[in-house]
Chain A
C-alpha cells in the first residue's frame, strides 16, 4: 500500500520554516501561528497514518526512480510500524512545545528565528525517521543537529554559548564518524539503501569492514544519543536551552536521531550478532546505572532532569539489547519480543513524562526566576497546576502505578527475568528506586518544603497556553498506560516489534523480493 502523505512529513515543516522566516519579518504575530498550524497538521497526519497504516509498510520513492533489476536506486521514504510511532511522538511533543512557547518565548527577541529553527528541527527529525537510505539519514541528521545547535544557544548568554560549543564539537565529531562509516558501507556494499545493504551483507559479499562499520556507527549515534561514555554534552546542552527546546531535545531529539537509528540499523541493516548485542546491552546498563547516580547530586532542576534522560534511555537500550541477545542465540523469541516491546513502550513513555517535566521546570523558572532547588519551597500553594502535573510526571518516571512508567518498566523487568538476566533485572529495580528518591527530593524542595524564612506569596501560576500544554501531557501520561492492555498493545506496539523481529521482512518489503 502506498501512503501519499509520506513526503508531506518532511515538506510541510521545511516549507513552514522558510515562510516563517520571511513572513515573520513583516508581521510579528505570524511565526507562532504558522508553527502551530504546521505542527497541528503534522500531528493530524501522523496519527491518521498510524491508524490507517496498520502493520504494513508503505514506501515512497522520491522522484519516481523505480528499481532496476530488483536493485533500488533513488531515495526511499519508508513508513512502517516503528517509524509511525516515532512520527506521532515528534509531532505530539512538538505541538505541545509550540503551544507552550507562545507564552514562554515572549520574553526573548527574534521570535521568528525561533519558530523557523523549530520547524527545521522537526523536518530533520521526521526525515531521519522516515528515510530508508543511510546517506539521507546523515543529511537529515545534520539538518536537525544544526538547528538544535542554534536553538540551544538561543539565549546567547555565557552558559548557553558554552553549552552549544561543547554540543557542537562533539556533534560534529560524531557526524564525521557516521560519514566515515557510510563511506565504508558504500565501499563494501556498493549501495546506500538500508534494505539493499542488508541483502548484500547477508549474501556474504566482502565483509572485511563489517565490525569497523558497526563500531563507527555505534560510536557516532551513541554520541548523538548520549549513551554513558559519550554523554558529556547532554547535561549542559539540555539545561541551557529554553525550556520548550529542552523538552524537545530530551523528549524526542535524542530518540529520533540516536536511539531510533541505532535500533533501526542494528536490526534491519546488520544481522543481529551476539557480540554486538552484548556491547549494546552493556552500554544501556551502564547509562542506566551511572546516569541516575550523576543525577541524584544535582541541585539545578534542569540538570537533574537531563541526567535522568541518560538513565531512562539506558533502560530502552538495555531492554532492546536483551531482545537482541536472545534473538542472536535463537532461543525464546517470545521473551525477545517482550523485551523489545518494553523498550519501545518505555521510549514513548519517556517522551511524555520527560517532556512534561521540562515544561514544569520551565514554568517554575518563568514564575520564580531560578532553577536552583535550594532557593525554592512551598510553590504548591502558588502554582497548583504545575505542582499537580509535575507530581504526575514524577510518579510516572519513578514507576508508580497507574502511570505509564510503571507498565513499561514492569515489562522490561519481567522480560529480563524471563530471559534469565537476573543481574540486569535487579539493576533496573535498584535504578528505579534511586530515581524515585531523586524525584522525591525534587518534589519536596520545589513544592512542599515550607521554610518560614523564604516563603513567597508573590508566586503566580503561569499563563494559559503553558498550562494547557502541561495538562495535556499529564493526560497523555495516564492514557499511555492503556497501551499495556492486551488489545491495544497488539495494534499499536506489535507492528513496531514485528518489523524489528522479523529479520527479512523489512528488506523484502522494500526491495520487493
Chain B
C-alpha cells in the first residue's frame, strides 16, 4: 500500500509545481512529473506478487503472470504524453520568441 501512497505524493508534487512555479519550463517539468505518477500508478495496478512476464508457458499451467493490459495502457499513454509535452514545449518556445520571457506573470494580454 505504501507504494501507492508514494505514487499519489508524486502526483501532488507535480500539482504543487504547476500551481506555484512561475517559469514556464518548470511548469512543463511539473506536468511531466504528474504524468509519470499516472504511468507508475497504471503499471502498479497490473503488478502481481511474484508474477512472471505474461508469456503463456504451456509446460507450467499454475504459473502466475502479471496483468499485461495495464502495461499496454501505459505504453499508449506514454506515446500520448510525448505528443502533449512536445506540443507544450513548442508553444513555450514560441511564447519566448514573442514575449522575450518565461515568466508567467508577464504573459497577461488576455483579461476579462
Q: A interface vs B, CB < 8 Å?
A: 135, 138-139, 142, 146, 149-150, 153, 156-159, 161-165, 168-169, 172-173, 175-176, 179-180, 182-183, 186-187, 192, 235-236, 240, 297-298, 300, 303
* Chain B residues with CB under 8 A of A300: 112
* Chain A residues with CB under 8 A of B38: 176, 179-180, 183
CA–CA, A82 and B31, complex, Å: 35
Task: Take A156-B94, A173-B18, A179-B38 as given contacts and tell me if A168 and B88 are in contact as well, using a CB distance cutoff of 8 Å.
Answer: yes
Question: Which residue of B88, B92, B94, B98 contacts A172 across the interface (Cβ within 8 Å)?
Answer: B88
Could you tell me if A169 and B31 are in contact, using CB atoms closer than 8 angstroms? yes
Could you tell me if A168 and B91 are in contact, using CB atoms closer than 8 angstroms? yes
CA–CA, A146 and B108, complex, Å: 23
| The 4 residue pairs across chains A and B that have the minimum distance between CB atoms | A142-B80, A179-B38, A236-B110, A161-B95
* Chain A residues with CB under 8 A of B91: 149, 153, 161, 164-165, 168
Q: Please tell me if B69 contacts chain A, counting CB pairs below 8 Å.
A: yes
Given A156-B94, A161-B98, 17 new contacts (CB under 8 A): A142-B80, A142-B83, A153-B91, A153-B94, A158-B99, A159-B109, A161-B94, A165-B107, A168-B84, A168-B88, A169-B27, A172-B88, A179-B42, A180-B11, A180-B41, A183-B42, A186-B42
Mind listing 26 A-B residue pairs with CB under 8 Å? A142-B80, A146-B84, A153-B91, A158-B98, A161-B91, A161-B94, A161-B95, A162-B95, A162-B108, A163-B110, A165-B91, A168-B84, A168-B87, A169-B88, A179-B42, A179-B77, A180-B38, A180-B41, A183-B38, A183-B41, A183-B42, A186-B69, A186-B73, A187-B45, A192-B69, A297-B112
Q: B interface vs A, CB < 8 Å?
A: 11, 15, 18, 24, 27, 31, 34-35, 38, 41-42, 45, 69-70, 73, 76-77, 80, 83-84, 87-88, 91-92, 94-95, 98-99, 107-110, 112
CA–CA, A207 and B73, complex, Å: 22
CA–CA, A337 and B92, complex, Å: 47
Closest chain A CB from B94 CB (angstroms) = 5
* Chain B residues with CB under 8 A of A176: 11, 34-35, 38
CA–CA, A192 and B46, complex, Å: 13
Among B15, B70, B91, B108, residue most surrounded by chain A Cβ atoms (within 10 Å): B91
Closest chain B CB from A144 CB (angstroms) = 12
Question: Which residue of B80, B98, B110 contacts A139 across the interface (Cβ within 8 Å)?
Answer: B80
Closest to B85 in A: A172
Could you tell me if B110 and A149 are in contact, using CB atoms closer than 8 angstroms? no
Could you tell me if A139 and B109 are in contact, using CB atoms closer than 8 angstroms? no
Question: Which residue of B42, B77, B107 contacts A162 across the interface (Cβ within 8 Å)?
Answer: B107
Could you tell me if B110 and A165 are in contact, using CB atoms closer than 8 angstroms? no
Could you tell me if B99 and A165 are in contact, using CB atoms closer than 8 angstroms? no
Could you tell me if B112 and A298 are in contact, using CB atoms closer than 8 angstroms? yes
Closest to A149 in B: B87
Could you tell me if B112 and A235 are in contact, using CB atoms closer than 8 angstroms? yes
CA–CA, A126 and B91, complex, Å: 26
Closest to B98 in A: A158
Could you tell me if A186 and B45 are in contact, using CB atoms closer than 8 angstroms? yes
* Chain A residues with CB under 8 A of B84: 142, 146, 168, 172, 175
Could you tell me if A169 and B18 are in contact, using CB atoms closer than 8 angstroms? yes
CA–CA, A169 and B25, complex, Å: 12
Question: Which residue of A146, A175, A186 contacts B87 across the interface (Cβ within 8 Å)?
Answer: A146
CA–CA, A132 and B10, complex, Å: 31
Closest chain B CB from A1 CB (angstroms) = 30
Closest to B72 in A: A135
CA–CA, A139 and B84, complex, Å: 12
CA–CA, A176 and B84, complex, Å: 12
Closest chain A CB from B91 CB (angstroms) = 6
* Chain B residues with CB under 8 A of A165: 24, 91-92, 95, 107
Closest chain B CB from A244 CB (angstroms) = 21
CA–CA, A125 and B88, complex, Å: 21
* Chain A residues with CB under 8 A of B45: 183, 186-187
Task: Take A169-B27, A172-B84 as given contacts and tell me if A162 and B94 are in contact as well, using a CB distance cutoff of 8 Å.
Answer: no
